[in-house]
Amino acid sequence: MRPKFWELPLKNLDKAEWEALCDGCGKCCLNKIEYEDSGELAFTRVACRLLDGESCQCSSYPNRHDFVPDCVVLTPKKLREIAWWLPATCAYRLRAEGKPLYDWHYLISGDRESIHRAGASVRGWTVSETSVTEDDWDDYIIEDLS
C-alpha cells in the first residue's frame, strides 16, 4: 500500500501534492519583524494586504507577486533555508522535521474548517498591513521567535 502523499518525503511530492499540503492557517502571511542588531525574529498579527482574514487564504494567490513582489515562494529547497521562519504548526515545517500532521489538518480530518475550530489559524484576529504603519508593528507582536 502506497503511503499517503503527505507522509512522503517533501522532495517526492508533485506540484499539486505540494500545494495541497498547506493547512490554510494563514500564519505565513503574517508580517514578521527581524531585528537587524540581534537577528531575532518576532511574529506580528499584522497580515499581508492580500490575506483574507476570514478564509485565511491569499485573495490573489496566482498573482500575488504583482502586488507583493517579495512574497516567498515556498519550495523544498527554500524550506530548508527558512523553516525556522515558519510557525511551528506549519505542515511544511512539520514534514521537513519528520513530524506528522496535526489531527486538525484537513488531510487528516477531511474538513477544511477543523483548523479554525482548533484555533490553529489566524481567522478573526489579524489586522491588515494597510491599516497599521510599519513603525507600529511592535505593538502587534504575538510571538517572539528568538
pLDDT of residue 38: 87
pLDDT value of residue 1: 64
Alpha helices in 37-140 (DSSP H): 64-67, 76-82, 91-96, 106-109, 114-117
Under DSSP, the state recorded for 30 is E
Per-residue confidence (pLDDT) for residue 144, from 0 to 100: 55
* Whole-number pLDDT of residue 41: 83
| Domains of the chain by residue range | 7-144
The pTM for the full model equals 0.87
Residues of the chain with pLDDT under 50: 146
Look at residue 44 in the predicted model and tell me its pLDDT. Answer: 94
Q: What is the C-alpha separation between 57 and 145, in angstroms, rounded?
A: 23
